[in-house]
């Protein structure tokens, strides 16, 4: 039997921290769906189509990894994909409270779906899409934080760096 996992998030845009989590998940599961949320409450910099395209390019050739989009309840989406596992990343204690709440809520909604947390390499523990966008918008280099195609897209979108 295949073990399938879903890694949901905004991915606005995908960063090297996300890639680190996906790389770890890909060694544990036969298939990992990187699921980009359509109904995120935050005002995103990139459209869903742009976020999907950036993630697809960054993940081209990664075995067992697929980029997808979803809206509505995560547990419903996971069920549709026959996934029993939801993967989330944990960077610091500050992530814990929200992640714990979401995991418990998802368990209430569907007890058959387990949430697991993966920790990135320490050099990515300070990394978030928000900080990357902030640095890029101020003209700082983000080349060590995001894949090349994302760096270029940020440059275009924010009219600064290449
Ligand atoms: P969301 O809006 O759902 O938090 P994000 O794209 O910001 O979407 O994050 C998706 C998941 O990836 C979350 O579990 C988040 O904690 C995790 N994550 C984000 N950045 C990193 C990182 N640098 N290292 C590890 N996990 C991360």
Return mean pLDDT, the chain: 94
d(CA 66, CA 94): 29
Q: What is the pLDDT of residue 76?
A: 97
Alpha carbon distance 21, 117 (integer Å): 9
- Residue 162 is predicted with a pLDDT of 47
The token pair that represents 53 in the structure block: 């395209």
Catalytic residue among 10, 51, 129, 133: 129
Residue 56 Cα to ligand 1 midpoint, Å, equals: 17
Ligand 1: nearest atom to the Cα of 119: 25
**Residue 155: predicted pLDDT:** 95
Residues enclosing ligand 1, CB less than 6 A? 9-11, 15, 17-18, 21, 40, 88-89, 91, 95, 120, 124, 127-129
Q: What are phi and psi of 88, to 5 degrees?
A: -135, 155
Active-site hit among 42, 60, 82, 148: 42
Please give the number of the atom of ligand 1 that sits closest to the Cα of 87.
14
Q: Is the pLDDT of residue 161 over 90?
A: no
Q: Is 82 tagged catalytic?
A: no
pLDDT of residue 79 exceeding 50: yes
Q: For the chain, count helices (H), then strands (E).
A: 6, 5
The pTM for the full model equals 0.95
Q: Which residues contact 162 (CB under 8 A, 6 or more apart)?
A: 151, 152, 155
pLDDT over 80 (residue 47): yes
Cα 102 to middle of ligand 1, angstroms: 13
The residue ranges of DSSP E strands in 23-79, in sequence order, are 31-37, 65-70
Q: Residue 160: pLDDT above 90?
A: no
């Amino acid at each position: 039997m295949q073990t399938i996992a879903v890694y949901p998030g905004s991915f606005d845009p995908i960063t090297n921290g996300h890639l680190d989590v996906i790389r770890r998940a890909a060694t544990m599961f036969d298939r990992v769906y990187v699921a980009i949320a359509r109904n995120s409450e935050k005002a995103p910099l990139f459209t869903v189509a742009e976020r999907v395209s950036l993630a697809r390019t960054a993940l081209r050739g990664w075995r067992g990894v697929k980029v997808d989009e979803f809206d509505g309840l995560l547990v419903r989406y996971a069920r549709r994909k026959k996934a029993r596992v939801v993967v989330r990343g944990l960077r610091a204690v500050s992530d814990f409270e929200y992640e714990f709440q979401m995991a418990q809520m998802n368990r209430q909604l569907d007890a058959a779906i387990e949430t697991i947390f993966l920790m990135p390499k320490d050099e990515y523990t300070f990394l978030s899409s928000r900080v990357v966008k902030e640095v890029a918008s101020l003209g700082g280099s983000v080349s060590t934080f995001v894949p090349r195609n994302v760096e270029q897209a940020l440059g275009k979108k924010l009219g600064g760096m290449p």
